[in-house]
């Protein structure tokens, strides 16, 4: 059994978590107003620790995601890497590749679809109960009428 599996997660995951913390703090301190809406979710580091994919979303509506990605992968990537080399205790800092994470939007869309279907099921059940409830009342009234006719 390898030592990495005994610890629970490997070196790449630990470095990714550390980079995520550092990058989050660096972006909070950035003066650029275009970076205010960015939320970092995950950093995945390659096995050789030379590259890191940084997954982010833009809130509230991900309207400027392409612009944000272009900005982050442009000159800002080099600046952030330089700042990480000063703050992170790593021999080499991986090259940063920012990727827009669409899983949050997809999750919201799926949740809305589920809510819609559940709402339709509730409405369908309400209509069914009204239909069957009316039929039961008519059956009861017909039985009462036939009993009173005897």
Whether pLDDT at 2 is above 60: no
Supply the range of the domain harboring residue 42. Answer: 3-101
Instruction: Looking at the structure, tell me whether residues 27 and 97 fall in a common domain.
Output: yes
pLDDT at res. 9:
63
Q: Which of 6-10, 22-26, 74-78 has the highest mean pLDDT?
A: 22-26
Pair 42, 91 in one domain: yes
Specify whether 93 is located in the same domain as 123.
Answer: no
Number of domains into which the chain is organized: 2
Question: 51 and 110: one domain?
Answer: no
State the CATH number of the domain containing residue 43: 3.30.300.20
pLDDT at 1 > cutoff 50: no
Angle at 92 (CA atoms; ends 85, 11), nearest 5 degrees:
110
Say if residue 136 is in the same domain as residue 107: yes
Say if residue 70 is in the same domain as residue 110. Answer: no
Same domain, 28 and 67: yes
Rounded Cα–Cα distance for residues 75 and 97 (Å): 12
Distance (Å, whole) CA 81 – CA 30: 14
- The residue among 4 and 121 whose pLDDT is bigger is 121
Do 38 and 68 form a contact (C-beta atoms < 8 A)?
A: yes
Q: What is the pTM of this model?
A: 0.65
Average pLDDT over residues 92-108: 84
In this structure, are 130 and 65 located in the same domain?
no
Q: Do 74 and 110 sit in the same domain of this protein?
A: no
Over the stretch 40-85, which tens digit does the pLDDT of each residue have? 899 999 988 899 999 988 876 666 778 888 888 888 888 888 888 8
Q: Could you tell me if 90 and 116 lie in one domain? A: no
Could you tell me if 93 and 21 lie in one domain?
A: yes
Residue 90 has pLDDT above 90, yes or no: no
Output the average pLDDT for the chain: 78
Cβ atoms < 10 Å from Cβ of 68: 21
Co-location of 118 and 77 in the same domain: no
Q: How far is CA 47 from the centre of its chain?
A: 25
């Amino acid at each position: 059994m390898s030592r990495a599996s005994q610890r629970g997660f490997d070196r790449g995951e630990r470095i990714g978590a550390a980079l995520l913390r550092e990058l989050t703090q660096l972006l909070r301190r950035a003066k650029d107003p275009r970076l205010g809406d960015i939320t970092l979710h995950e950093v995945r580091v390659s096995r050789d620790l030379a590259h890191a994919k940084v997954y982010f979303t833009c809130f509230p509506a991900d309207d400027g995601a392409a612009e944000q990605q272009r900005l982050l992968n442009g000159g800002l990537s080099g600046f952030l890497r330089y700042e990480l080399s000063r703050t992170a205790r790593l021999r080499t800092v991986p090259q940063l590749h920012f990727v827009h994470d669409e899983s949050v939007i997809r999750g919201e869309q799926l949740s809305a679809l589920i809510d819609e279907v559940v709402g339709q099921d509730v409405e369908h059940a309400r209509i069914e109960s009204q239909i069957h409830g009316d039929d039961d009342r008519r059956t009861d009234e017909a039985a009462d009428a036939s009993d009173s006719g005897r």
